[in-house]
Amino acid sequence: MTALADRYRQAGRRTRIVVIALVAILVMTIAEVITGTSDLTSRSTASAALRLAIPILLAGLGGLYSERSGVVNIGLEGMMIAGTWFAAWGAWMFGPWEGVLLGIAGGAIFGLLHALATVTFNVDHIVSGVAINILGLGAMRFLSSIVYTGETGGSVIQSPPVGGISNVDLPILAGGNLFGWDTPDFFGWLENLELFFISDVAGIIRGFTGGVNWLTLIGLALVPLTAWLLWRTPWGLRLRSCGEDPWAAESLGVRVLRMKYYGVVISGVLSGLAGAFLVLVQAGIYREGMTGGRGFIGLGALIFGNWLPAGVLGGSLVFGFGDSLRFRGPEVVRSFILAVAIGLIVYGIYSFTRTKIRAATIQTVIGAAFLLYYLQVEEVSNQLLAALPYVITLLVLAAASQHLRMPAADGARYAKGEAR
């Protein structure tokens, strides 16, 4: 056990991420065998988790650009609300892809307002973010009362039904079409073999590659694009320097105010895209309150991900998976509780090998508590089902908090030419 732990610690970051994912799937597979369920690692659960994770991912990536430039953005929710309304209006008037563009524009406008308040007028970032959220909700209600009231299916709180964006099966991986050729469904075939662990991994991959929406693919592609842009280009270096030490960046000729504007407006663009996803992929209609706090959850995914693109993706998938379990039934949730218990106890043993006695004790005790709950409860309550995604998010954030490092000047007020 100690030798395996040493090899894990010596591995690179990408290798460790893959190992963690495979161990998590293995633990869930064991829990499925014990409880006799099969939906915990099924393709339908994986597909639902991915679909629910994308809006959170886009909002989290938006927050990443803003906070890497040094501007705290808790206005992601308001920007996403604007994206939902303008996307629905654009799709209703012109078409779904036009709706996407207008949703992006709506989020960008609110991002520009946040940048104007925080960067130009030095308003407190939190105050401005709260104002953006309130303004987003009120302004969209006002616009709905003007545009949708009296239309068939429309009202002051919702739009008429709108068209959506189509799905696609990826060739070879999920049996998609390639230049007129119906390719094999490799992971579907592997899943149907019902092999222990292997078929579970195949089912999850099949859920991520089959029936995938085009906006989902765009959202996933933005993760490596963001990593490249922020960490491999001079523009990204300038943006990040503004979030670490804007005064030093200014002394080196970086136009700090301009870079901050870029970061905040891009956060609005991505939040608007997240709102468009909710309308054009998940709901097919605009409804007041449909964001459901996903902008705030995206901020939580950003913190969980340690202000890194891959971390934001991981945090988004964690919440999306927890949210998807609400639709799987109490038996699957009970199986997941057993998986959490096993995972925490195993993690406690790993922490013990690293001589982290306090952490190992806490993890083992919490794991034992989950195990006791599993043994005592035959059916999970509806209240716990509703709260499950938020509980998972809080647990993950609590576990990761000791390793977090936000940009050093995130939230700091900056004025051109003034010393620190």
* Span 217-240, pLDDT tens digits: 999 999 999 999 999 999 999 999
Dihedral angle of Cα 102, 104, 107, 111, to the nearest 10 degrees? -130
Q: Which of 83-87, 106-110, 324-328, 331-335 has the lowest mean pLDDT?
A: 324-328
Greatest mean pLDDT among 103-112, 190-199, 374-383 lies in 103-112
Residue 194 falls inside a structural domain: no
Residues 116 and 19 in one domain: no
Greatest mean pLDDT among 99-103, 321-325, 381-385 lies in 99-103
Residue 306 falls inside a structural domain: no
Strands 177-178 and 181-182: antiparallel
Q: pLDDT averaged over the chain?
A: 88
Residues 398 and 271 in one domain: no
Residues 362 and 394 in one domain: yes
Residue 259 falls inside a structural domain: yes
Q: Are the CB atoms for 350 and 5 separated by under 8 Å? A: yes
Give the pLDDT band of residue 3 (cuts 50, 70, 90): low
Residues 12 and 123 in one domain: no
The dihedral sign for the CA sequence 293, 299, 303, 305: positive
Q: Which of 292, 321, 346 is the last residue of a domain?
A: 292
Q: Which run of H or of E encompasses 177? A: strand 177-178
Residue 278 falls inside a structural domain: yes
pLDDT the model gives residue 9: 63
Q: Are the CB atoms for 111 and 269 separated by under 8 Å? A: yes
For the segment 307-317, what is each residue's pLDDT rounded down to a tens digit?
999 989 988 99
Residue 322 falls inside a structural domain: no
Residues 100 and 152 in one domain: yes
Give the pLDDT band of residue 353 (cuts 50, 70, 90): confident
Give the pLDDT band of residue 193 (cuts 50, 70, 90): confident
Residue 115 falls inside a structural domain: yes
Residues 145 and 218 in one domain: yes
The dihedral sign for the CA sequence 49, 51, 52, 56: positive
Residues 74 and 25 in one domain: no
What would the DSSP string read from start to end of 50-65? HHHHHHHHHHHHHHHH
Total count of domains within the chain: 2
> Whole domain around residue 363: which residue ranges?
1-36+329-402
Query: How close are the terminal C-alpha atoms of the chain, in Å?
Result: 50
pLDDT the model gives residue 7: 67
Residues 143 and 269 in one domain: yes
The DSSP symbol for 103 reads H
Q: How many CB atoms within 10 Å of residue 153?
A: 12
CA count, 13 A, side-chain hemisphere, 327: 12
Residue 298 falls inside a structural domain: no
Residue 410 falls inside a structural domain: no
> In whole angstroms, what is the distance from residue 80 CA to residue 78 CA?
5
> Model-level pTM?
0.92
Q: Which of 271, 292, 313 is the last residue of a domain?
A: 292
The DSSP symbol for 232 reads S
Residues 264 and 143 in one domain: yes
Residues 138 and 283 in one domain: yes
